[in-house]
């Protein structure tokens, strides 16, 4: 990632914020009306950096959750990073490696460090990652709705706004009917994919149910089975013709290699928090690019901070499919930064130092429900 001078961690502030969603967001495992986010404001001798933790408020989507991330940051990760002395961005993962798991907490701390380094060296987050594009195509994720008519209305609005890809959340009983309705209304040219979040893990006839989606020309079926069922995904991939994409199953470059070697997937959703940080996400991108595997950037309903970092990552050349990169107003009436807007179906990659966005302190104050200061 190029030469950068080391910095020393001087302290941090952990803030929990709550952002009301514009509309409830329903998946196969939960319905959200408010997003509760953990932010890291890292103080270094190079200046301040911001990180956002992808861990949700409750351990329903992942074993990681906000309060646990806060605990491991305060008691284990921040002390280790500060104790390492002068460090470069590449040293962050090394300093945190003895702590097992907690990838989303690690990713938030690394993000804050990268932001601080970028600001010190007047380099953008995209530049630090090696990204090359000025804009990335925007995709939108549509949660489970109360009816097919409600779904059609929602998708029509997003198509009219210019989104380049639509992803539907599905589960057993809500799959073929909504997909068929979307195809009838919008035709075969709409880039369409589905995401099950592992909802078919206990469905005995998963292969038959998902093979029924083959006639609809989907880009992919994302994470149909449980995250630890790579063998099941490999068997499913041999049964259905629609490409299988893995999300929750891929937690590192090593697990990606295993999944690809088993034939468990042919597409990968890259989420920086899930793999432990943006540098590991970049290495996963490099692996996929070398093997000719399409990748795209997944989303966790990020604020403008996390969105800025994800957009920068998605500007790497191997991200050939539109990701879960929506305009801010898709989720939030008021964001923590200046809102991201669509430009001909794309989001512009921030070019300013670090993340390239500034926190709206008034918005931050109004949304903060808890804060904790940490010092070495």
Domain of 319, CATH number, reads 3.20.20.120
Same domain, 323 and 370: no
Backbone φ and ψ of 252, nearest 5° = -170, 175
Element (H, E) at 187: none
List Cα–Cα distances, 291 to 102, 229, 257, 307, 376, in angstroms. Answer: 28, 22, 10, 27, 43
Report DSSP letters for 52-108, one per residue: EE---SSTTSSS--HHHHHHHIIIIIHHHHHHT-SB-HHHHHHHHTTS-S-HHHHHH
pLDDT digits (tens, 9 = 90+) for 45-89: 888 999 999 999 999 888 999 999 999 999 999 999 999 988 888
3-class DSSP string for 23-62: EEEECCCCEEEEEEEEEEEEEECCEEEEEEECCCCCCCCC
Is 37 in contact with 53 (CB distance < 8 Å)? yes
Strand partners, 41: 13, 50
* pLDDT, tens digit, 9 for 90 and up, residues 87-140: 888 899 999 999 999 999 999 999 999 999 999 999 999 999 999 999 999 999
Q: What does the pLDDT average to over 145-153?
A: 95
CA–CA dist 164, 247 (Å, integer): 20
Residue 326 maps to a domain: yes
Are 140 and 116 members of one domain? no
Identify whether residues 227 and 301 lie together within a single domain. yes
Instruction: Establish if 336 belongs to a structural domain.
Output: yes
Looking at the fold, whether 113 and 153 belong to one and the same domain comes out as: no
User: In this structure, are 113 and 152 located in the same domain?
Assistant: no
**Whole-prediction pTM:** 0.94
Residue 160 lies in a domain: yes
- Assess whether 254 and 146 both reside in one domain: yes
Same domain, 39 and 23: yes
Distance from C-alpha of 185 to C-alpha of 183, rounded to nearest angstrom:
5
**How many alpha carbons fall within 13 Å on the CB side of residue 323?**
30
Specify whether 94 is located in the same domain as 218: no
Does the pLDDT value for residue 4 go beyond 90?
A: no
Q: What is the CATH number of the domain that holds 72?
A: 3.30.390.10
* Pair (283, 310) in one structural domain: yes
Q: Do residues 62 and 142 both lie within one domain? A: no
Same domain, 36 and 140: no
Catalytic choice (37, 106, 167, 169): 169
Q: Does 167 participate in catalysis according to the annotation?
A: no
CB within 8 Å of 90: residues ≥ 6 apart: 1, 279
Domain extent at residue 79: 9-121+361-374
pLDDT in tens, 289-326: 999 999 999 999 999 999 999 999 999 999 999 999 99
């Amino acid at each position: 990632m190029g030469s950068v001078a080391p910095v020393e961690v001087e302290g941090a502030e952990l803030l929990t914020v709550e952002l009301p969603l514009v509309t409830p967001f329903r998946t196969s495992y939960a319905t959200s009306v408010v997003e509760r986010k953990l932010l890291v404001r890292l103080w270094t001798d190079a200046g301040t950096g911001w990180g956002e933790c992808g861990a949700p408020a409750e351990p329903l989507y992942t074993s990681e959750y906000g309060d646990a991330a806060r605990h491991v940051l305060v008691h284990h990760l921040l002390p280790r990073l500060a104790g390492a002395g002068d460090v470069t961005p590449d040293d962050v993962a090394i300093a945190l490696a003895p702590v097992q798991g907690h990838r989303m907490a690690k990713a938030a701390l690394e993000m804050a460090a990268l932001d601080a380094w970028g600001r010190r060296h007047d380099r953008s987050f995209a530049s630090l990652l090696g990204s090359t594009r000025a804009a990335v195509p925007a995709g939108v994720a549509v949660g489970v709705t109360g009816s097919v008519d409600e779904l059609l209305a929602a998708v029509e609005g997003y198509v009219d706004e210019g989104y380049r890809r639509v992803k539907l959340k599905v589960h057993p009983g809500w799959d073929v009917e909504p997909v068929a309705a979307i195809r009838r209304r919008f035709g075969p040219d709409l880039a369409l994919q589905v995401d099950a979040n592992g909802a078919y893990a206990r469905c005995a006839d998963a292969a038959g149910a998902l093979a029924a989606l083959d006639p609809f020309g989907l880009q992919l079926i994302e994470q149909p089975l449980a995250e630890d069922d790579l063998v099941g995904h490999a068997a499913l991939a041999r049964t259905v013709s629609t490409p299988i994409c893995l999300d929750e199953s891929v937690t590192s470059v090593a697990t990606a290699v295993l999944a690809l070697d088993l034939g468990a997937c042919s597409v990968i959703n890259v989420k920086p928090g899930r793999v432990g940080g943006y540098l590991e996400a970049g290495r996963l991108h490099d692996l996929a690019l070398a093997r000719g595997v399409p990748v795209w950037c997944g989303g966790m309903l990020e604020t403008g901070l996390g969105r800025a970092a994800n957009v920068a990552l998605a500007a790497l050349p191997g991200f050939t499919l539109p990701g879960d990169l929506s305009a801010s107003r898709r989720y939030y009436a008021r964001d923590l930064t200046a809102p991201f807007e669509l430009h001909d179906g794309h989001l512009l990659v921030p070019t300013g130092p670090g993340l390239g966005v500034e926190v709206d302190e008034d918005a931050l104050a109004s949304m903060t429900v808890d804060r904790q200061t940490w010092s070495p």
